[in-house]
Structure 1
Amino acid sequence: MRRVAVITPVCGRHEHLLLQQRALAVGSRRPDHYVVVTMDDPVAGELVARREPPGDAVAVERRPDAPGLPLAAARNAGARRALERGADCLVFLDVDCVPGPETIARYAELARDDSILCGTVSYLPPPPPGGYRLDDLPAMAEPHPARPVPGPGEIVPEADPALFWSLSFATTATAWERIGGFCEEYTGYGGEDTDFALLAAEAGVGIAWLGGAPAYHQHHAVSRPPVEHLDDILRNGALFNRRWGHWPMRGWLEDFARLGLVRHDPRSDGWVRTAAAPRRADPAGMP
């Protein structure tokens, strides 16, 4: 039987973290290891230590030379700790994501060396009075309109690396080591997911959607387009362009341009901010 680790980066969102922990505790397959990577958040480490059985907290600090949360570095740190503990299946869950009762079992059963498996992620409305109830989440959540929704146990290959997201995915230790993890030059929001998917493709590891492994994304304030992440998107987009020769997140960039926040330079295919960055909608900086 595989030894499964769940890896979750955290900065704030403590109520979201606690609900994720509750869901993991009642699932049909509990993880063998639960690694919570705290980013400038000692309180989250305390919450993990009080869990029964206790989780494993790993602290990753912001780089002084780079703005934004070190999300890529946090996922890599969590994977290293999980591998040190003997895990051979790595399940990455965003702190906002609540796994369904069969999600960890499905990932553990079907994880493979030639593909990263992505379970479906559905979005929840704001919580009712008293908070979310685990049994109510499937009826409350709406699937993402731009992602496939496979049937239970169905695996659907994905050819477009831009559709990969790190909210909920699983890989074997073998595949992770072939890919080499996330590029830690990315900090803050955007770019690192598609970069990871392209690294996976270069390593011969595909992307696939997995049915029957749902995650329910807890509500938090966001902007459309995500203006609070404007500087992160410009910085990480430029890094991605240096590494891969084209810009990611072009839809967001074009939306920013329509708002007068950025302009596109066709000579260099670069994007430049033309207005002051707006106030952040999310003080924690988590996407």
Structure 2
Amino acid sequence: MRTAVITPAAGRHRHLTLQHLGLAAGSHVPDHYVVVAMDDPDLGAVLAGREPVATVVDCPVNNGNLPLARARNLGAARAVECGAELLVFLDVDCVPGEQLLERYRQVALDTQHRRSLLCGTVSYLPPPGPYGYRLAELTTLAEPHPGRPAPATGELHRSEDYALFWSLSFAVTAETWHAVGGFCEEYEGYGGEDTDFGQRACAAGVPLTWVGGAPAFHQYHPVSDPPVAHLRDILRNAETFYRRWGWWPMTDWLQAFADRGLAHWNHSTGRWALGPGSECRPEGME
């Protein structure tokens, strides 16, 4: 089963470099490595001269909001054009574990799971030491995120809770990708497009399966909680999701914004809107 790894990126060159090294060190090297550069002309130089050889696909940014959904769709289209039968999506911050690709491939070859949406575990790493992360030590630094199922190595967990799907690390066959229809490109900027993809998979009758033994490790970067730097993106994308699916996603963040005066629920319009504190929100974090 010819396998492609697809990663959208804008900056984060050190994180991308470690991901690249992780792929080279894996038990199964991808047949294709497709990196989608969102207004990042320097990205090709970061990947040059390294194995596995990367294909860089340009994805313009038209209005300042990163088009993550469109970037993933472009990456998938290129991978399928190259003959990939299994599409593995990794966030640029994620380093694949040694067995990640082999495990995804093993499960996808099983006729019972060939049409599944496959999700591996993701562990959030602490800040690196002065010399960065060492691949051999990643498994000792953090446990899988507690908010998602974490089957033991060799185990699978079928779930009906598609709201838990996230795009940090997942795999689908090309056939399943087409059945789901890819990511909805109405979403731009931060938030919502992966939850929408989970709902599209559910609507298409694609099972959601959490895969033990396919770990990824999310490299540290500063964040704000709630992600106030993405306030407008989240409000806009939440409304798009509500229009498409009839319920509000990201409610914890929306309520946290409301508690800080950054957003409020407008009873007359039945929608979330910017609050009086939105003009003095802190910047610089994700």
Q: Report the TM-score when normalising by structure 1.
A: 0.94
Partners of 1:160 and 1:265 lie apart in 2 by 29
1:46 aligns with 2:36: no
Structure 1 residue 142: deviation in Å?
Answer: 3.0
The amino acid that maps onto 1:92 is F
Partners of 2:152 and 2:38 lie apart in 1 by 36
Deviations 1:120-141 (A, max 9, x none): 0001000011110001111102
Deviations 1:108-167 (A, max 9, x none): 111243311100000100001111000111110232111111011211112112110000
1:114 aligns with 2:115: yes
* DSSP-derived class of the 2:42 partner: helix
Deviations 1:35-63 (A, max 9, x none): 00000111112222332342100010113
Q: Identify the residue that residue 183 of structure 1 maps to in structure 2.
A: 184
* DSSP-derived class of the 2:132 partner: coil
Question: Structure 1: which 5+ residue stretches go unaligned?
Answer: none
* Deviates further, 151-160 or 247-256: 151-160
Instruction: Give the root-mean-square deviation of aligned CA atoms.
Output: 1.3
Partners of 2:267 and 2:273 lie apart in 1 by 11
| Superposition pairs of residues 158-237 of structure 1, within 5 angstroms | 158-237=159-238
Q: Identify the residue that residue 248 of structure 2 maps to in structure 1.
A: 247
* DSSP-derived class of the 2:238 partner: helix
- Residues 117 and 207, structure 1, Cα contact 8 Å, conserved in 2: yes
- Residues 49 and 57, structure 1, Cα contact 8 Å, conserved in 2: no
Identity %: 57
Structure 1 residue 269: deviation in Å?
Answer: 3.1
Q: Identify the residue that residue 100 of structure 1 maps to in structure 2.
A: 97
Deviations 1:9-42 (A, max 9, x none): 0001100000000010010000000000000111
- Equivalent of residue 86 in structure 1, options 83, 87, 98: 83
* DSSP-derived class of the 1:255 partner: helix
* DSSP-derived class of the 1:276 partner: helix
Q: Report the TM-score when normalising by structure 2.
A: 0.95
- Residues 36 and 48, structure 1, Cα contact 8 Å, conserved in 2: no
Partners of 1:37 and 1:104 lie apart in 2 by 19
Q: Identify the residue that residue 69 of structure 1 maps to in structure 2.
A: 66
- Equivalent of residue 278 in structure 2, options 272, 276, 279: 276
Partners of 1:9 and 1:137 lie apart in 2 by 22
